[in-house]
Structure 1
């Protein structure tokens, strides 16, 4: 391996080498800058301004290894740096949690919007399948008077979520359980969830960066990707006091089916399918009729 080690010294040469190396392996060249920012602990503008500077031997070694690992295996940058970015904040991530996606920020925006227009005070929010806790923590930060609970089946995910809550000094309750099961008797205003929704049959179409590194149980669901929605909606149907808003992230072809599941088990809700930045169906919002906002 060592005979092949690149010979660059400056930051600029490091960027050039990494970009070409990534390109050759059909990876995004932007990864080079993200890894440099991480290992140097510099901002992008500082990297551009001081690109004549030499890299220390330690940084150079770590940088080369990470670029090669990403190029050859597809390991996500976020696993190499230990951080993922969501709604303007940084969160701890590892192999036990889903890496936060920009589309999910729109789910959060939809919930914030609902809270603003509904006039709900001291709103009680539950995030089901909370993973790294990004949705729960972001909502708790953005709606300071709210009471937010995150539920996950995975102990390892809850450990990551707890760590993130303390990094962001947020008071979120994290509970282990199967979606709503531990909270059937609690009063809840809003249920939000980005559950596993990919059908097992779609596995071979997926990118190795996702398939080999995101946790299986956070991606895939039985019944053509619909099992989690059915479970959550059936649990909701058993609750005496229903939430006024349900917000689901969905696979882009699941809008009408998820809406149908809601109508089947939860009469009295009005559903709405919303698109993401890429104009793909990405969310289903359901409002209890007495509180419908136009």
Structure 2
């Protein structure tokens, strides 16, 4: 089979499930993974013959895509902030809006230009925030924690992949009363999707991404923010900053809670879709 026929087969197999643009993206991702061909090369090499072993890989990927499994889990990785990251069922797939949070933190750190700059990422998952910050801010000391040992294994692998130093440790933020030291920045992208919002989510998220990293109860959706903000009051250095990625529907409620906890200075920022997505706050 030639590459152009393989592309046609992929499009036909997925046409009733996914939009055309997304199917083409799947094909390019799989071609890069299994054939080491760039997007333009898939056109230039359209007459290339595909061996049976590679065809089998494409067929397996198509079966998984038909089951709505995320393409990132199928190929075992994705890109975040211009860097390669490995992901699996124990980690969330990094989102583009989180890149904006990383950029915001970097801008603040560069403008301050302080020595002994320390950053803590709480609930690091794949390590995308911590590793990206360590890569962009080589002068900083970056630390990251997660409750999941499996997630930490992946985060450590991503730190090695991107040749950065991040100190990882396991901790359940809802059960700990202390942090190891003082920090200039504490950042978290905690679980913030309420159970009631599951109806709006796609099967590729519902059925495959780790629930513990996504969902919070309807009764207390701000539990992680409240816990982290209270710890940050004690463990942020003077003039230190706390950054959160947030639920767009809970921005007002969260800001009220943070002001009550002792953060009078709060900056809310929208993501590229125009949704309330992240905030920065400083204690008194």
Shorter-chain TM band: over 0.9
Equivalent residue number for residue 59 of structure 2: 64
- 1:203 aligns with one of 174, 198, 215: 198
Change (3 A) 1:182 1:160: farther
Equivalent residue number for residue 272 of structure 2: 277
CA distance in 1, matches of 2:146, 2:272: 27
Please report how far the alpha carbon of residue 197 of structure 1 lies from its aligned counterpart in structure 2 after TM superposition: 0.4
Cα deviation per residue 1:48-67 (whole Å; 9 max; x = unaligned)? 21111011111111102201
Q: Determine if contact 1:69/1:75 at 8 Å carries over to the other structure.
A: yes
Cα deviation per residue 1:176-210 (whole Å; 9 max; x = unaligned)? 00238375351100011111100011122210101
Change (3 A) 1:37 1:106: same
- 2:107 aligns with one of 110, 113, 125: 113
CA distance in 1, matches of 2:160, 2:223: 32
The secondary structure found in structure 2 opposite 1:192 is strand
Runs of 5+ unmatched residues, structure 2:
none
Please list, as runs of the form range in 1=range in 2, the aligned pairs for 1:30-179 lying within 5 A after superposition: 30-71=25-66, 73-179=67-173
Please report how far the alpha carbon of residue 162 of structure 1 lies from its aligned counterpart in structure 2 after TM superposition: 0.8
Q: Determine if contact 2:177/2:231 at 8 Å carries over to the other structure.
A: no
- 1:226 aligns with one of 222, 228, 236: 222
CA distance in 2, matches of 1:87, 1:211: 25
CA distance in 2, matches of 1:15, 1:127: 41
Taking structure 2 as the reference length, the TM-score comes to: 0.93
Please report how far the alpha carbon of residue 14 of structure 1 lies from its aligned counterpart in structure 2 after TM superposition: 1.0
- 1:244 aligns with one of 240, 246, 251: 240
Equivalent residue number for residue 5 of structure 2: 13
Q: Determine if contact 1:78/1:84 at 8 Å carries over to the other structure.
A: yes
Q: Determine if contact 1:127/1:135 at 8 Å carries over to the other structure.
A: yes
Cα deviation per residue 1:92-144 (whole Å; 9 max; x = unaligned)? 10000000111100000000111122232331000010001010010001000
Taking structure 1 as the reference length, the TM-score comes to: 0.90
Q: Determine if contact 1:125/1:148 at 8 Å carries over to the other structure.
A: yes
The secondary structure found in structure 1 opposite 2:15 is helix
Please report how far the alpha carbon of residue 213 of structure 1 lies from its aligned counterpart in structure 2 after TM superposition: 0.8
Equivalent residue number for residue 260 of structure 1: 256
CA distance in 2, matches of 1:19, 1:226: 42
How many residues are paired up? 279
Equivalent residue number for residue 209 of structure 2: 214
Runs of 5+ unmatched residues, structure 1:
1-8, 290-294
CA distance in 1, matches of 2:87, 2:49: 30
Please report how far the alpha carbon of residue 241 of structure 1 lies from its aligned counterpart in structure 2 after TM superposition: 4.5
Q: Determine if contact 1:150/1:175 at 8 Å carries over to the other structure.
A: yes
Q: Considering only aligned residues, what root-mean-square deviation do their CA atoms show, in Å?
A: 1.8
- Could you tell which deviates more after superposition, 237-246 or 135-144? 237-246
The secondary structure found in structure 1 opposite 2:232 is helix
CA distance in 1, matches of 2:242, 2:233: 12
